[in-house]
Amino acid sequence: MKALIGIDVGTSGVKTLLCTDKGKILATTTVEYPIYHPKPAWSEQHPADWWKATKQSICAVLRKAKVKGNAISGIGLTGQMHGSVFLDKSHKVLRPAILWNDQRTAAECDYITRKIGASRLIRLTCNPALTGFTAPKILWVRKHEPRIYDRTSKILLPKDYIRFLMTGEFATDVSDASGTLLFNVRRRTWSRPVLSELQIDRGLMPKSYESTEITGRLTKDVAQELSIPAGIPVVGGGGDQAAGAIGNGIVRTGAISASLGTSGVVFAYSDTVQTDPKGRVHTFCHAAPGKWHVMGVVLAAGGSFQWFRNNLGTEERKAAKRQKVDPYELLCEKAANAPVGSEGLFFLPYLTGERTPHADPFAKGAYIGLTMRHDKSHLIRSTLEGITFAMKDSLEIMRGMKIPVRQIRVSGGGARSKMWRQIQADIYEHSVVTINASEGPAFGAALLASVGTGSYKTIQKACDVAIRVTSNTRMNSRNVRVYRGHYPIYQKLYGSLKNDFRAIDNIVAV
Q: Is the pLDDT of residue 425 over 70?
A: yes
pLDDT above 90: percentage of residues in the chain: 91
Of 458 and 414, which is predicted with more confidence?
458
DSSP sequence for 470-489: EEEEPPPHHHHHHHHHHHHH
* Confidence at residue 2, expressed as pLDDT on a 0 to 100 scale: 87
Q: What is the mean pLDDT of residues 119-133?
A: 94
Question: Residue 440: which pLDDT band, with cuts at 50, 70 and 90?
Answer: confident
- Angle between helix axes 418-428 and 327-335 (nearest 10 degrees) is 50
Pick the catalytic residue: 49, 102, 176, 240?
240
Q: Is the pLDDT of residue 103 over 90?
A: no
Residue 266 near residue 294, CB atoms below 8 Å: no
Coil, helix or strand at residue 428: helix
Residue 360 near residue 498, CB atoms below 8 Å: yes
Is the residue at 80 inside a domain?
A: yes
Is the residue at 311 inside a domain?
A: yes
* Same domain, residue pair 315 and 400: yes
Count the Cβ atoms, other than its own, within 10 Å of residue 261.
22
Considering only 15-19, 429-433, 437-441, 494-498, which range has the smallest mean pLDDT?
A: 437-441
* Same domain, residue pair 458 and 399: no
* Cα–Cα dist 184/269, whole Å: 18
* Same domain, residue pair 347 and 211: no
* Confidence at residue 345, expressed as pLDDT on a 0 to 100 scale: 98
Question: Residue 113: which pLDDT band, with cuts at 50, 70 and 90?
Answer: very high
Q: What CATH number corresponds to the domain at position 417?
A: 3.30.420.40
Question: Residue 510: which pLDDT band, with cuts at 50, 70 and 90?
Answer: low
Is the residue at 267 inside a domain?
A: no
* Same domain, residue pair 213 and 328: no
* Same domain, residue pair 334 and 451: no
* Same domain, residue pair 317 and 454: no
* Cα–Cα dist 475/483, whole Å: 11
Is the residue at 493 inside a domain?
A: yes
Q: Is the pLDDT of residue 51 over 80?
A: yes
The number of distinct structural domains making up the chain is 2
Q: Is the pLDDT of residue 46 over 60?
A: yes
* Same domain, residue pair 459 and 376: no
* Same domain, residue pair 483 and 342: yes
Mean pLDDT, the chain, whole residue set: 95
* Cα–Cα dist 451/39, whole Å: 43
* Same domain, residue pair 461 and 485: no
Active site residue 505: no
* Same domain, residue pair 444 and 487: no
* Confidence at residue 438, expressed as pLDDT on a 0 to 100 scale: 78
Q: What is the mean pLDDT of residues 140-164?
A: 98
Is the residue at 122 inside a domain?
A: yes
Strand partners, 77: 7
* Cα–Cα dist 165/85, whole Å: 13
Residue 258 near residue 409, CB atoms below 8 Å: yes
The secondary element (H helix, E strand) that includes residue 239 is strand 238-239
* Confidence at residue 412, expressed as pLDDT on a 0 to 100 scale: 85
* Same domain, residue pair 458 and 392: no
Q: What is the mean pLDDT of residues 444-466?
A: 96
Q: Is the pLDDT of residue 146 over 60?
A: yes
Q: Is the pLDDT of residue 509 over 70?
A: no
* Same domain, residue pair 401 and 441: no
Instruction: Indicate the DSSP class of residue 339.
Output: P
Is the residue at 408 inside a domain?
A: yes
Domain that holds residue 346: 302-421+477-502
* Confidence at residue 413, expressed as pLDDT on a 0 to 100 scale: 85
* Cα–Cα dist 332/489, whole Å: 24
Is the residue at 10 inside a domain?
A: yes
Q: What is the mean pLDDT of residues 402-431?
A: 95
pLDDT tens digits for range 296-352: 999 999 999 999 999 999 999 999 999 999 999 999 999 999 999 999 999 999 998
Is the residue at 256 inside a domain?
A: no
